[in-house]
Amino acid sequence: MASRHKTTSVGTSATALVGTEFPNFIIQNKSGATVFIGGSDVTTSGATAGFQVVDGATFEPGVEASKSLTGVTNDRLYGIVASSTANVTVLVKGKVLS
């Protein structure tokens, strides 16, 4: 099984993490801050607050769920933090579909 990974620094503006065209991935929060993930409009509070991934935690949606996380086909998944920055690693597993 082929895999590839990337670590991204996430700040207080929405930062692209992975495209939803990759249906089999894991996100790992490798920092001291909570990362909120969601669509390009993700925020840390209110109606557009993202899914929380706390320090040291991972998020691994099922293949079908990952296709509809943002509600848009071929969208990207974004992360944001309330303050400072966070290192987030994304591992794309298996055959990468386009």
Q: What is the pLDDT of residues 41-91, one digit of tens each?
A: 999 999 999 999 999 999 987 665 555 555 555 678 899 999 999 999 998
Give domain status of residue 98, yes or no: no
Contact 14, 81 (CB under 8 A): no
Q: Which residue has the higher pLDDT, 70 or 18?
A: 18
**Model confidence band, residue 35 (pLDDT cutoffs 50, 70, 90):** very high
Give domain status of residue 67, yes or no: yes
Which residues form the domain of 80?
A: 3-93
Instruction: Indicate if the pLDDT at residue 98 is higher than 70.
Output: no
Give domain status of residue 27, yes or no: yes
Give the CATH number, domain containing residue 56.
Answer: 2.60.120
Instruction: Indicate if the pLDDT at residue 1 is higher than 70.
Output: no
Q: What is the CA radius of gyration of the chain?
A: 12
Give domain status of residue 81, yes or no: yes
Check residue 20 and give left, alpha or beta (phi > 0: left; psi -120 to 50: alpha): alpha
The confidence score (pLDDT) of residue 77 equals 87
Number of Cα atoms under 13 Å in the Cβ half of residue 60: 9
CA dist., res. 3 & res. 14, Å (int): 25
The confidence score (pLDDT) of residue 37 equals 92
Domain count, the chain: 1
Q: Identity (one letter) of the amino acid at 55? A: D
